[in-house]
Amino acid sequence: MNFGCIASINSVTERESYFMKKMLIGIVIFFLIIPVDLINFNTHEMSINKVAYDETFPSIAHGNTVSQQFVPQYNYIKRLEIYVREVNCDVSQGYLKFCILDAEKEDVYEIKVPLTEMPSPGWYTIFSDIEIIAGETYYLTIDAVEVLDEGPRLAFFTNVNTAAKEEEGQELSYAGFKVENGNLKVSFEYMKPLHKLDYLAYYLFAIFIVSFLVTKMNKIRKG
C-alpha cells in the first residue's frame, strides 16, 4: 500500500476543506455587510423630458419669473438639473436664484448661482441631495437677479407630450402667465429604496451559495 499517496490525498483533502471553510466564512461576512451598503446607497432612477425641439424664454430678469409645478416620484432627489440653451448675456455681475416652494408657496430650498457658473449650452445641477415628499405638489422658480441685461436663455417645451413624469398635468408659468402645454427642460435623478422583491432575491441567492458550500464541504469530509 502506498502510504505516501494516501497521506498526499488526505493533505489535499484537508487543504480543500480548510479553503472551503475560509470561503464560507468570507461569503457569510460578505452577505452580512452588503445589505448595509444596499440600504445606504439604494438605487438610482432618472426622469427627463422626451426628445423634441425646445424653445427659450426671451428674458428671466426684471420680474420675468419662470415657475414650473412638479410632483416628485420619490422622497430623495440626488440631482435636479435644468438645461441652459445659451449664455449670451453679460456675466460680470448678477446671479440666478432657484427656489423650490411647497404647495402653499413657502420656501423649502433656495440657492443663488453666479452667472459665471452657467454652461452654454448644457445641463446645470441646481439642487443635489435634497429631501422632499413624494406625491406632493412643488414649484421650481427661477429668476435672474441684479443682472445687466436679460440673463441666460433657459430651455422649455410647448408640447404636453414632452413633459417629464413630474411635470405631467402640472403648470409652467412665465412672468405670471401660464405657458400653454409648457414644460421646463429638466432632469430628476432620485435615490430610491430597493424593492422588497430585490431583497428577497438577494437573500435567496445567499442561501443557495451557502448551501452549496456546506454540501461541498460534507462531500470533502466523506471523501
Task: Look at residue 6 and tell me whether its pLDDT is greater than 50.
Answer: no
With 0.75 as the threshold, say if the pTM is over it.
no
Contact status, residue 127 vs residue 77, Cβ threshold 8 Å: yes
Strand pairing category for 95-101 and 138-145: antiparallel
pLDDT at 42: 67
**Residue 33: pLDDT band with limits 50, 70, 90:** low
Q: What is the pLDDT of residue 195?
A: 56
Per-residue CA distances from 62 to 47, 55, 98 (Å): 31, 20, 15
State the pLDDT confidence band at 12, using cuts at 50, 70 and 90: very low
CA-CA distance, 47 to 57, in Å (whole number)?
Answer: 23
pLDDT at 220 over 80: no
Comparing 198 with 207, the larger pLDDT belongs to: 207
pLDDT, mean of residues 156-164 = 96
Give the pLDDT confidence of 39-49 residue by residue, as tens digits.
Answer: 555 688 999 99
Mean pLDDT for 197-221 is 61
- Domain 43-192, classified CATH 2.60.120.820, yes or no: yes
Q: What is the pLDDT of residues 67-113, one digit of tens each?
A: 999 999 999 999 999 999 999 999 999 999 999 999 999 999 999 99
Q: Give me the percent of the chain exceeding a pLDDT of 90.
A: 64
Average pLDDT over residues 4-10: 48
Domain ranges for the chain, please list them. Answer: 3-42+195-222, 43-192
